[in-house]
Amino acid sequence: MSQHAKSDHDADAVKAAAGLGAASNTTAPNTVPTAADIKRWRQYLADERAEAAVYRDLAQNRSGEERAILLALAEAEGRHEAHWLKLLGDNAGKPRHASVRSRLLGFLARHFGSVFVLALAQRSEGRSPYTREPSATPAMAADEQIHEEVVRGLATRGRNRLAGTFRAAVFGANDGLVSNLSLVMGMAATGVGSAVVLLSGIAGLLAGAFSMGAGEFVSVRSQRELLAATRPTQVTLAAAPQLDIEHNELLLVYLARGMSREAAEHRVAERMGLFTCDCDPSLSLRPELPKTEDEHEAVGTAWGAALSSFCFFASGAIVPIIPFIFGMTGLGALVVAAVLVGIALLATGGVVGLLSGTSPLTRGLRQLAIGLGAAGVTYLLGMAFGAVIA
């Protein structure tokens, strides 16, 4: 059986298990639909078609279970499409354009197919209007709620792969933006020349980038070492055959790992060879093979986090000094620096919002308020220090 044929078979199994292939209640209302009803239903129809296409496009870049899940979601959106087609009847007319959000999802799915698309799809499913739509069936509203959780699960896999390095990148960029803007504004407020402000900004960039990189390396390496230290070893497998059956502490090992007493006693009996099972008895005393996948992928690698933190801090820290690099001076340079940093903070906050499935605008505005607030306080402190020195 080919890979795609196997995936299609898996898709059928997923649909059967999840009930996605079941027919929904598409009984049309007895009342004659109004022009507003028809317009709304046609928009729903266009969006359902677009969302089904998004899941099919994403499935093209997946294999195995993930592909089966995405195809099952596309099939479910097809059922919703059939519902609106039945209600519309001859009023379906020419296909309408999907909403801007659905079209953006489709473009990203066709050209990128990344975790960002799944995060956007999760948010889209969570904002489904079917719970408030009298013409939608209860099953359709329930479908959308379940779809949100399915997409959340798929997106979580990608988020886990991104988590360590992405965290360092976002924190590094924001620290570079905020700390160097604060430094530049604080120095400028004291009344020193633009050349001194520029040199201070460059020094802040280099010092901060190296500090962030070193800090992330130590932090992630230490976290991975702590996690590795908590992983159970296979010493019980090697030592069990030599233990005294009546007097040993093997039970304490499993109790300390958090097992219930019944489960721990069962595991001890298995390790000591006191009973046999239907499986190969030698498996009880065979050390497990080391896992090939990273058990701490959400933590990230120390070198990856350090390099990301260094590069992104530097890329953020250079933004506030761009006006001074190009020869601007005085208040104009500070205003341009603040505007550039504000745009960058909105962008990084928006990206975090997209990946976390929350509002990009809210996250962006939060980042902006925190960053400019810190820079404003530093500017006032610089003015105060300048007045004292003068």
* 208-263 pLDDT, tens digit each: 889 888 887 887 778 777 766 655 555 555 555 555 555 566 777 778 777 788 88
**147, pLDDT greater than 90:** no
Q: Are residues 21 and 58 in the same domain?
A: yes
Specify whether 57 is located in the same domain as 104.
Answer: yes
- Is residue 16's pLDDT more than 60? no
| Shared domain check, 151 and 181 | no
Q: What angle do CA 225, 211, 333 make, to 5 degrees?
A: 145
pTM of structure: 0.56
380 and 319, same structural domain?
Answer: yes
Position 280 scores a pLDDT of 43
Domain assignment of residue 204, given as a range: 163-208+313-389
Query: 279-290 burial by CB neighbour count: b if 16+ within 10 A, else e?
Result: eeeeebeeeeee
Round to whole Å and give the CA distance between 106 and 73.
15
Exposed, middle or buried by CB within 10 Å (0-12, 13-18, 19+), for 146?
Answer: middle
Q: What percent of the chain has pLDDT over 70?
A: 68
pLDDT value, residue 198 = 92
Query: 165-203, pLDDT tens digit by residue?
Result: 666 677 788 889 999 999 999 998 888 888 999 999 999
**pLDDT at residue 154 in the model:** 79
36 lies in the same domain as 52: yes
Given pLDDT bands bounded at 50, 70 and 90, which one contains residue 318?
very high
Lowest-pLDDT range of 99-113, 175-189, 268-282, 315-329: 268-282
CA–CA dist 275, 267 (Å, integer):
10
Residue 94: its pLDDT value, please? 76
Q: Is the pLDDT of residue 294 over 50?
A: no
CA-closest candidate to residue 107, choices 147, 62, 53: 53
Average pLDDT over residues 324-340: 91
Instruction: With beta carbons less than 8 A apart as the criterion, state whether 64 and 7 touch.
Output: yes
**Contact between 175 and 341 (Cβ < 8 Å):** no
Band of the pLDDT at 17, cuts 50, 70, 90?
very low
Residue 299 covered by a domain: no
The mean predicted confidence, pLDDT, of the chain is: 75
Phi, psi values for residue 259, rounded to 5°: -75, 155
SS3 at position 301: coil
Average pLDDT of the residues in 71-78: 88
User: Is position 274 within any domain?
Assistant: yes
Q: Looking at residues 305-321, what average pLDDT do you find?
A: 88
Sequence-ordered strand ranges (E) for the chain: none
Question: ∠ CA 183-184-190 to the nearest 5 degrees?
Answer: 90
Give the C-alpha separation, 299 to 224, whole Å. 7
pLDDT at 297 over 80: no
- Please work out, in degrees rounded to the nearest 5, the angle formed at the alpha carbon of residue 198 by the alpha carbons of 197 and 199: 95
Q: How confident is the model at residue 158, as a pLDDT?
A: 66
Any domain includes 222: no
Q: Which of 217, 215, 210, 214 lies closest to 317, judged by CA?
A: 210
Say if residue 275's pLDDT is above 90: no
Q: Rounded CA gap, 175 and 170, in Å?
A: 8
Q: How confident is the model at residue 324 (pLDDT cuts 50, 70, 90)?
A: very high
Q: What pLDDT does 283 receive? A: 39
Which has the closest alpha carbon to 17: 146, 153, 158?
146
Can you tell me which residue has the tokens 């739509």? 133
Task: Choose among 307, 83, 135, 90: nearest CA to 216.
Answer: 307
Q: Is residue 332 part of a domain?
A: yes
Is residue 256 exposed (0-12), middle (13-18) or buried (19+ Cβ within 10 Å)?
A: exposed
Predicted confidence at residue 25, as pLDDT, reads 45
Residues 199 and 323 in one domain: yes
Q: Write down the pLDDT at residue 290.
A: 45
Say how many domains are in the chain. 3
Residue at 223 is within a domain: no
Q: How confident is residue 118, by pLDDT bands cut at 50, 70 and 90?
A: confident
Query: Residue 302 pLDDT more than 90?
Result: no
pLDDT at position 21 over 50? no
CATH number at 105 reads 1.20.1260
pLDDT range class, residue 349, cuts 50, 70, 90: confident
Backbone torsions φ then ψ of 109, nearest 5 degrees: -65, -40
Task: Say which range, 2-6, 157-161, 190-194, 306-310, has the weakest mean pLDDT.
Answer: 2-6
